[in-house]
Amino acid sequence: MSAVNVNLVSNATSSKAASSKAASSKAILGAALLGLALTGCGGGGGSSSGGDAGMTGSTQTGNSTNQIREGRFLDAAVSNARYVTLTPDGKVSMSGFTAEDGSFFFRDGETVSFFIGDILLGKAAAAGIVTPSALVDGANSSDALPNMLRFLQTLDTDADPYNGIQISQLVHEHSTNLKVDFDRLKGDFEVQSALTGLLAMATNSPTMPTVFAALDHFRTTMLNAYDSNSGETVLNLVGTKWRSTFSSEACGDTSVELTHTFNKLGHFTTGYHDLKQRDDGSCKGSSLAVLMALYENDDMFSCANGCSLTDLNRTVRINGPEAHDATIVHAPGTSTITIIHQYDDGREVLETMKKV
């Protein structure tokens, strides 16, 4: 049996208002086409183009390990993003553009990379849900995740990411031969010529959303995408150590660090617990201390022995000398927890926790 080249076509550039029933029909049609292709001794198919969600496969063996699966790329559903999956030995397996619901195709054990034109967003293990958090999980900069979220949400054709993020063909065309580095501090990221040029030429909103707005939208997506009511443990913190970086819009690239240690006794923190702007406009770390909280008294991480998705995507009130609200954001399967600290005086500080 010769190599099989299969293309499942779905209209990724259609209106965001299309129903999920239509998406399901496409998936059923795709499965039927695949079955028909595998019954023949020859193979053939067209190539996918700008608005099509296509896939390319090699000879099918019927092995369960070689079955084609469907995943979704989510910061809301990201449609018409280009993707490529690679086998463990580095060979291209699937390629195409994500459908309206953010779906793409892969096989078990593969990695998937996502692109806007030639701009590589990142790569991660292919799975049922892949998020920007997974694409930047190994980044050095604490701003990598909000950088990517703000980028994707700005590219959305109608500037409303809450109804899905749709990438236009115009954006792909203007992203040819471009490279954007997301692993930078916020200030350095925003001034890249490739980024500013693309946003000016190919979007209706060249001004990106704030870090806090982008992260809050992502938190909502996580709660909607997973079964947040299951109570299933997604992260056990006990016995782990995390390093936090505090930053803020007002302080630019100035940041301070804090270490979190979770053991059987409780939650220990060492370092600066806040970042403040002084009267002269400069910024410095604040509340330098070594603190310990028993888990039953820990406002944010009382769940440490078994945190659910809801535990790690919620807003809590932090009691103390400077009481404030803290919004926690976490995507399952990643080694990053982001916390938005919002003080009663309007001050906002971003804390990015990375597992050590």
Residues 215-274: pLDDT tens digits? 999 999 999 998 877 789 999 999 999 999 999 989 988 999 999 999 999 999 999 999
Judge if pTM exceeds 0.85.
Answer: no
Q: Helix %, strand %, coil % for the chain, to 5?
A: 25, 30, 45
Q: Is residue 114 part of a domain?
A: no
How many structural domains comprise the chain?
1
Q: Is 73 a domain residue?
A: no
- Pairwise CA distance, residues 312 & 309, whole Å: 5
pLDDT at position 228 is 75
pLDDT of residue 116: 98
The strand pairing partners of 11, in sequence order, are: 52
Which parts of the chain fold into alpha helices (H)?
Answer: 20-39, 132-135, 144-155, 169-174, 186-190, 193-202, 211-225
Give the structural domain span for 237: 233-355
CB 132 within 8 A of CB 144: no
Give per-residue pLDDT as tens, 53-100. Answer: 444 333 333 344 589 999 999 999 999 999 999 999 999 999 999 999
Residue 191 lies in a domain: no
Domain assignment of residue 202, yes or no: no
In a domain, 249, yes or no: yes
Q: Is residue 275 part of a domain?
A: yes
In the three-class reduction of DSSP (H, G, I as helix; E, B as strand; rest coil), residue 26 is classed as helix
305 inside domain: yes
CA distances from 328 to 164, 175, 325, 342 (A): 22, 33, 10, 11
For residue 311, being part of any structural domain is answered with yes
